[in-house]
Structure 1
């Protein structure tokens, strides 16, 4: 029995669409959570004095959030939501809000505190060079 031409074309179109879906979701892990890239080269953030002790600062352009637990100490996390990869929009104290689906993250630990995200924000190394913060691996 021959397969009708329309069925063959429909199957080819669906296979092509499936391939595009894989390409579009290439930043997703096997668990379906968005993978957030971390800087592969040092990225300057700004003056360390911009991050208050006990507080945090969101660096949208660099996609990093920095928390300062004590004077001279800094913790960094990706500012990209682990649910769908959206960029955190704002900080309310030390809670980062994702505008896409309402996920919230504790930027002192990176942990997801409100879903749909369940995976913590990946850590980003933060170093102090002079009076400036730098995200990513040391040069």
Structure 2
């Protein structure tokens, strides 16, 4: 018998370990996105690579996942100080992510914003 034989237990253990690693990698946080601070309008927001990046007041930056908490559709519209999911017409406030109107009951999922000079780095 070979020193490196594969029995059922070892096969299942290897398969489970491989699956768990792939699952955890897929569920990891979204990669960081870098945006020029000048590209985020004061009193409004911009949508970039899966994130909503807002500047509710001058020099204050907040970010959220672009995914609507209602049914996981992308939020695609910015209008002044709100963003809207066009699938079911849920509207959210950019300052705190709260629901303004529509069927959504949960606020936007916050993201982390770090500013270094004129660059914003946003991550989940």
Same fold (TM over 0.5): yes
Secondary structure, counterpart of 2:86 in structure 1: coil
Q: 1:128 to 1:113 in 2, by over 3 A?
A: same
> Is 1:50 the equivalent of 2:39?
yes
Secondary structure, counterpart of 2:96 in structure 1: coil
Give 2:51's match in structure 1, choosing from 64, 81, 84: 64
> Is 1:92 the equivalent of 2:79?
yes
Asked if the contact 1:44–1:132 (Cα under 8 Å) also holds between the matched residues in 2, the reply is no
Corresponding residue of 1:130: 117
Corresponding residue of 1:82: 69
TM-score by length of structure 1 reads 0.62
Secondary structure, counterpart of 2:38 in structure 1: helix
* Structure 1 unaligned regions, length at least 5: 1-38
Report the Cα distance in structure 2 between the residues aligned to 1:112 and 1:71, rounded to whole angstroms. Answer: 22
Corresponding residue of 1:107: 94
Secondary structure, counterpart of 1:81 in structure 2: coil
Higher share of residues assigned strand: 2
